[in-house]
Amino acid sequence: MTDQLKELRVSNDAMDDPLELRRRIQDEGYLFFKKLQDADKLWELRRQMLTVIGEGGWLVAGTDPMDGIADISRQCTEGDIEYTDVYHEIYKLEAFHRSAHWPEVLDMMEKVIGKPVLPHPQKIARLWFPKYTEHTTPVHQDFVHFQGNFDTYTCWAPVGDCPIELGGLAVLPGSHKVNKMLDHHFSLGAGNLCVDTDALDSDWYSTNYEIGDSLIFPALTIHKALPNLTEDRLRVSLDNRYQAMGDIIAEHMLAPHLNGFNQLSWEDVYRDWESDDLKYYWKNLDLETIPKDLSYSNQGFSEALAMASDGDARAILHLNRIIKRDPSTDMAKAAIEVVQGLGALGDGSTAATAATGH
């Protein structure tokens, strides 16, 4: 596998040809569209999201929130309490949830899937600090996280322009044809699980994304985020899931994202909304649900324990995060036993310095 990035194939020429769209995604494992989504709506969404982020103290004081100039001293990521405190304020924005239901997105997803679609209630935003490259989302298949069924699709879109150096998504075309879940192992980054792709002889594809651009791919396509190599800019993006109405869905995808960290409820999310049409929109649907399969995350945690025992700084950082969130859980107690034995129990700052070089 080479590290050279190749340019994503643009499928705007087939936007009105559902059969060709499905042929392409079945063959290549992704569809990329220029300006699929309305830029004006996305700029307004960015304004709202960055205003909340600024109020949370993540931006340099006195700068225009729309520029997303990050205060590096506030670096955090998924898994940190500090991240969730700000992220869940964004999560309460009605405009954020409504963006997953915009007609241009739903119409395209219906063409791709070939049936009426269900947007997952669990909407997701990604907020990535600069100079924090060890926490870049690792190589993975999305099914390990949202589960349910393989015919579930992600629609990723930047909220603002996202050139290569800001860290958009990259995919391995055709990688979905393995038609199975590959082994995932412990990693830093969103989801804390990664796939080893050293044996795959393929090139990564990405692009300099512009606002409105959208990347769609199924649950088994191998992908990753590129590192945010900018000096001071926060990367903001949408990461939403869609499936055919009536297909199996995992129970946890009906709950707010990262709600396990602070028990965020839909009542909390909806409290200040001006309209009701999207509240609990899935409740009256006859959904077939299955419980979350914890084997993937449990394996990753077991690997982190073993790696931390051997002194791995990244694993120690991960365990300290678990302890800081809630030291009373079984996972935290197991983590405490390991890091206490190493004399590394604390806020993770020593491990963070070792892992990131900052």
> What pLDDT does 261 receive?
83
Cα distance between residue 286 and residue 245, in whole Å:
9
Tokens of 193: 């699980």
Question: Span 99-117, mean pLDDT?
Answer: 98
Residue 102 has pLDDT above 90, yes or no: yes
**Please, which pLDDT band fits residue 343 given cuts at 50, 70 and 90?**
confident
pTM, to two decimals: 0.92
> What pLDDT does 351 receive?
38
Angle made by CA atoms 5, 10, 12, in degrees to the nearest 5: 165
Residue 175 has pLDDT above 80, yes or no: yes
Residue predicted with more confidence, 177 or 191: 177
Cα distance between residue 159 and residue 165, in whole Å:
15
Buried b (16+ CB within 10 A) or exposed e, 297-306: beebbebbbe
Tokens of 94: 């009605």
Tokens of 281: 């929109």
Question: Span 310-330, mean pLDDT?
Answer: 92
> What pLDDT does 202 receive?
81
Helix (H) or strand (E) holding 184: strand 184-186
Cα distance between residue 237 and residue 186, in whole Å:
24
Ranges for all domains in the chain classified under CATH 2.60.120.620: 5-293
Helix (H) or strand (E) holding 338: helix 330-342
Tokens of 86: 């700000």
Annotation: CATH topology of 5-293: Jelly Rolls (2.60.120)
| Contacts for 36-39: CB closer than 8 Å, 24+ residues apart | 36/104, 36/105, 36/108, 36/157, 36/212, 36/213, 36/214, 37/99, 37/102, 37/104, 37/105, 37/157, 37/212, 37/213, 37/214, 38/102, 38/104, 38/212, 39/211, 39/212
The per-residue pLDDT of the chain, averaged, comes to: 93
> What pLDDT does 145 receive?
93
Question: Span 187-196, mean pLDDT?
Answer: 89
> What pLDDT does 1 receive?
37
